[in-house]
């Protein structure tokens, strides 16, 4: 049996990057594996400056979009992190296994901390400990595989290290997980800044395609994507990042390889047009289903309630065992 777990943060509206790098794969492949779990990891959204009402709203929206993207509660467990206490319980124990040096080495911590400081804010302690909570999310379920975009590899590595260390010191409690990535689309770049990853919380809004963008908005953003100087439409991630990003998005939509699209297009305009239409078609069924689900919020609530109940039952015994193993009387 292969246990699959992954999550998404309600820090902003879901993007094309989230969809191609993670959610589409969850719906197409991962949910068909035994006991897959997919989580809206709302506690992670508190690690940066946030508006409480917005986080609650975005959590519901993210859960609705996961279902709209094809996650089927008959096949997998969809739930919200804060509704299952085991995540926070295990996170504390793992903080007693991780070192502060390990946490400070995380690239995402460095980037997000720098951004908070640039904005004149302070860096929350939870931003530093975030990957430890993420390790708890993963390890609580005896996860084998974590399907994520490229950017999460380092965090999954930390979860591996903590699992191995805990097992060695305190006895076998955790499965050692590994990250998996889609072949194409594991790192969608910002359309206006093709050397930076497209992220929900980026400042460069016009460079981000959101799952719920209207078709005309999608077209406009893609037609205005930054491309590189040069004429031929060839795939070269290093020398031609803007073009490479468009070719990857198109290939991901069509289920092909970006290399195979090298030399196929005569002009940037033609490539952009096809890419825009492919993305519009990709998003159309998700948006349609999202609209239907929004008309039935009670259904979504019920899916999340049942999902949390199931997840709790799956996590509890392992977290209790870890508590006992590390020397606590509780558990």
Transcribe 147-176 into DSSP letters: E--GGGHHHHHHHHHHHHHHHHHH-S----
List 142, 194, 199, 307, residue binding ligand ATP (CB under 6 A): 199
Check whether 269 is labelled as a binding-site residue: no
List 8, 159, 246, 314, residue binding ligand ATP (CB under 6 A): 8
Check whether 100 is labelled as a binding-site residue: no
Size of the chain, expressed as the number of residues it contains: 331
Stretch binding ligand ATP (CB under 6 A), from 13-21, 28-36, 243-251, 253-261: 13-21
310 is catalytic: no
Report 295-314 residues binding ligand ATP (CB under 6 A): none
**According to the binding rule CB under 6 A, does residue 207 interact with ligand ATP?**
no
Stretch binding ligand ATP (CB under 6 A), from 31-39, 186-194, 241-249, 297-305: 186-194
**According to the binding rule CB under 6 A, does residue 192 interact with ligand ATP?**
no
Q: How far apart are the first and last CA of the chain?
A: 26
- Please, are residues 175 and 3 in contact by the beta-carbon 8 Å criterion? yes
Residue 8 phi/psi, 5-degree rounding, is -140, 140
Distances 222 to 192, 207, 243, 308 between C-alpha atoms, Å: 9, 8, 11, 38
Beta bridge partners of 79: 39
Residue 146 phi/psi, 5-degree rounding, is -120, 100
Neighbours of 117 (CB within 10 A): 11
CB of 267 to ligand ATP, least distance (A): 26
Stretch binding ligand ATP (CB under 6 A), from 24-32, 50-58, 132-140, 193-201: 193-201
- Please, are residues 273 and 265 in contact by the beta-carbon 8 Å criterion? no
183 is catalytic: no
110 is catalytic: no
Check whether 220 is labelled as a binding-site residue: no
List 3, 160, 197, 310, residue binding ligand ATP (CB under 6 A): 197
Which residues participate in catalysis according to the annotation?
A: 112, 197, 200
Footprint of ligand ATP (CB under 6 A): 8-9, 11, 15, 17-18, 20-22, 148-149, 151-152, 186-188, 197-201
């Amino acid at each position: 049996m292969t246990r699959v777990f992954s999550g998404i943060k309600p820090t902003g509206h879901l993007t094309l990057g989230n969809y191609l790098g993670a959610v589409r794969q969850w719906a197409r492949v991962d949910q068909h594996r035994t006991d897959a779990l997919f989580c809206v990891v709302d506690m992670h959204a508190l690690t940066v400056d946030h508006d409480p009402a917005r986080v609650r709203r975005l959590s519901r929206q993210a859960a609705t979009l996961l279902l709209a993207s094809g996650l089927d509660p008959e096949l997998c467990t969809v739930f919200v992190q804060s509704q299952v206490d085991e995540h926070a319980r295990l996170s504390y124990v793992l903080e007693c296994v991780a070192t502060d040096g390990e946490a400070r080495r995380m690239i995402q911590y460095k980037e997000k901390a720098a951004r908070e400081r640039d904005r004149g804010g302070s860096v929350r302690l939870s931003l530093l400990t975030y990957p430890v909570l993420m390790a708890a999310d993963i390890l609580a379920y005896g996860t084998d595989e974590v399907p994520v975009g490229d950017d999460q590899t380092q965090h999954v590595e930390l979860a591996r290290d903590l699992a191995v260390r805990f097992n060695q010191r305190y006895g076998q409690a955790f499965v050692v997980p590994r990250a998996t990535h889609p072949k194409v689309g594991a790192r969608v770049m910002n359309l206006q800044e093709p050397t930076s990853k497209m992220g929900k919380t980026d400042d460069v809004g016009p460079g981000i395609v959101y799952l719920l963008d209207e078709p005309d908005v999608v077209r406009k953003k893609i037609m205005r994507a930054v491309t590189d100087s040069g004429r031929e439409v060839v795939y070269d991630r290093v020398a031609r990042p803007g073009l490479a990003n468009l070719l990857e998005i198109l290939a991901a939509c069509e289920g092909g390889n970006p290399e195979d699209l090298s030399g196929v297009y005569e002009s940037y305009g033609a490539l952009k047009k096809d890419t825009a239409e492919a993305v519009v078609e990709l998003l159309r069924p998700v948006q349609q289903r999202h609209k239907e689900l929004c008309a039935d919020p009670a259904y979504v609530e019920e899916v999340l309630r049942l999902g949390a109940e199931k997840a709790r039952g799956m996590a509890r015994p392992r977290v209790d065992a870890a508590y006992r193993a590390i020397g606590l009387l509780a558990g």
